[in-house]
Amino acid sequence: MMAAEKKRIRKLTIAKAMSEAIDQAMTSNPDVFVMGEDVGKLGGVFGTTTGLFDKYGPDRVRDTPISETGFIGAAAGAAVMGMRPVVELMFIDFFGVCMDVIYNFAAKNSYFSGGRQAVPMVLMTSAGGGYSDGGQHSQCLYTTFAHLPGLKVVMPSNAYDAKGMMTAAINDDNPVIFIFHKSLQGMGWLGTAKGAIVDVPETVYEVPLGKANISREGSDITVVGFGNTVHHALDAARDLALEGISAEVVDLRSLAPLDRETVLASVRKTGRLLAVDDDHLSYGWTGEVIASVAEAGIALKCPARRIAYPDVPVPFARPMEQFLLPNAEKVKAAVLSLMNSVVSV
């Protein structure tokens, strides 16, 4: 029976999309298992393991003690033996206690074994602020990881990418830091950017890691974002279109590997560049993107610019935090000012 059926649209939150990707991987591959704090019955504080405990039980969905050095190190060790652990550390802010095994062991094991020993693990963790959770629960720290060779560092901006990237991350033979942004996650108690909840196929599919996405095509300026700042860029681009400015929005999706080609091709087309990050400004990926454009010798119509979180810890007070965070208005203002400026000769 091949009766023509109207395609059903099924939207998911990023939380559900991640859970579904992990679920499908666990069904097809007995080596995939989950570990982390509150990932069992609770289904993850950020909903990343919803339903998995009931389906697979405590052997494959393991609640851990608050012992990150132990369980993340154990995940790396199990991965070396051929398992494919998906491990969660609730907040990216918490990595200080267990960093050694991540950057000195998991990240370097392929190199130290001459490429003969893989560490196929996924480390998923939440990032981002905006809801006044203070300076130890609101950080981004993306480039802290992206700076370290041997780790793939990715973050989806929507549920379609979340599922495909999680599937790709589990299938990848290298350690992947899979970051999800709290402003996009789809937890009712956090509020969620509407653009993050999108149609997600029920079938298994991959979104390749290390490949940026053109989220919106444009011709006047390239605005590069990552995670939540993609939505700031898209919101600004919609506004700017009303003023006759055509902004192209690039969603990096991955910091390591960094898809320089997609960024360069876009900037060659538009001749203008704005990079928007909610991580700290200095030594952040915005600088890396702009440096790549400079090194490629692309002549810009105006100086490149970046918007990022200033080099201060995240304050608790709502007015202070909102003042420091990037948003669509800041992106729009920066684009307008860039469109009116020229390179001095």
Partner 1 sequence: MSRKPDIQTMLWMYKHMVLSRRYEEALAEAYLEGKQPLFNMANGPLPGEMHLSNGQEPCAVGVCAHLLDHDVVTATHRPHHIAIAKGVNLRAMTAEIFGKQTGLAGGRGGHMHLIDPAVNFACTGIVGEGLAPAAGAALARKMRGEDGIAVAFIGEGAANQGAFHETLNLAAVWNLPFVCVIEDNSYGISVPKGAATSVLHNDVRAASYGIRGYHVEGNDPLRIYEVAGEAIERARAGKGPSLIEIETYRLAGHFMGDAESYRPAGEKDALFARDPIPKFRQELVDAGAASSDDLLWIEEDAKSCVAELIDFAKAEAYAPVQEALEKVFV
Partner 2 sequence: MQIKIEDDFWQGDDEAVITAWLVDDGAEVAEGDVVAEMMLAKVQMEIEAPCSGVIHIEMEAEVPLKKGMVIATIDQ
Q: Which residues bind partner 2 (CB under 8 A)?
A: 6-13, 47, 186-189, 192, 194, 197
Give yes or no for residue 135 binding partner 1 (CB under 8 A).
yes
Which tokens in the block code for residue 345? 């000769």
Among residues 45, 83, 118, 339, which is the contact residue for partner 1, using CB under 8 A? 45
CA–CA dist 343, 338 (Å, integer): 10
Output the DSSP codes for 269-323. HHS-EEEEEEEESTTSHHHHHHHHHHHTTPPPSS--EEEEE-SSPPPSSHHHHHH
Give yes or no for residue 235 binding partner 1 (CB under 8 A).
no
Number of residues engaging partner 1 in binding (CB under 8 A): 44
Cα-Cα-Cα-Cα torsion 166, 168, 170, 171, nearest 10 degrees, comes to 170
Which tokens in the block code for residue 181? 């942004």
Q: How far is the CB of 112 from partner 1 (least distance, A)?
A: 23
Residue 195 burial (C-beta neighbours within 10 Å; 0-12, 13-18, 19+): middle
Is 288 designated active site? no
Among residues 27, 28, 117, 136, which is the contact residue for partner 1, using CB under 8 A? 136
Q: How far is the CB of 6 from partner 2 (least distance, A)?
A: 5
Q: Which of 137, 181, 231, 232 is catalytic?
A: 137
CA–CA dist 35, 17 (Å, integer): 18
The vertex-205 CA angle with 85 and 73, nearest 5°, equals 15
Binding string, 157-196, against partner 1, x = CB under 8 A? -------------------------------xxxx-----
Give the range of 33-41, 80-88, 170-178, 283-291 binding partner 1 by CB under 8 A.
33-41
Is 137 designated active site? yes
Q: How far is the CB of 343 from partner 2 (least distance, A)?
A: 44
Residues that bind partner 1 (CB under 8 A): 37-38, 40-42, 45, 63-70, 93-94, 96-97, 130-137, 188-191, 310-313, 315-324
